[in-house]
Amino acid sequence: MQRTGVGIRVLNFLVDTFLIFGITYAASAWWDFHVMYWHYPSIQFYTMFFIMLFIYYTIFESIFKRSPGKWLSKSKVANSKGGKPAFWQILVRSLVRLTIIDCFFIPFFDGPLHDYLSKTTVIEA
């Protein structure tokens, strides 16, 4: 079980963030149409971004063990024994990603907070 380096994780993050931003932009435009014509309640872009971020990572990592960014870098999420993570571990990973403090724990836990709390890691596929 070979863990991925920081460079691969940054590439994963950038690819996934750009994809999430694009999905959120399209969903926000679609929702704004409904707000304008049918008077639905308005949703701020940042709120929709965090909702999409949670849904994106939860769906991809629970079904495929990887997101599109991880596909690109040929890496995947694994539990501490190298196997498929449980659904609760994916939920914890996705929820902790919503916090701004996630990336600040890298020097303390030898990885992001979402890896530490969910007892998972990103390995080479």
Q: What is the pLDDT of residues 19-48, one digit of tens each?
A: 999 999 999 999 999 999 999 999 999 999
56-107 per-position pLDDT tens digit: 999 999 999 999 999 999 999 999 999 999 999 999 999 999 987 877 777 7
The answer to whether 61 and 93 are in contact (CB under 8 A) is: yes
Domain ranges of the chain: 6-124
Q: Look at residue 100 in the predicted model and tell me its pLDDT.
A: 78
What is the predicted pLDDT for the residue at 109?
78
- Write down the pLDDT at residue 107: 72
pLDDT attached to residue 51:
97
Residue 77 exposure: Cα atoms within 13 Å on the Cβ side: 29
Decide if 74 contacts 86 (C-beta within 8 A).
no
User: Per-residue pLDDT for 108 more than 90?
Assistant: no
| Angstrom distance (rounded) from CA 120 to CA 76 | 10
pTM: 0.92
- Here the tokens at position 67 are 């997101």
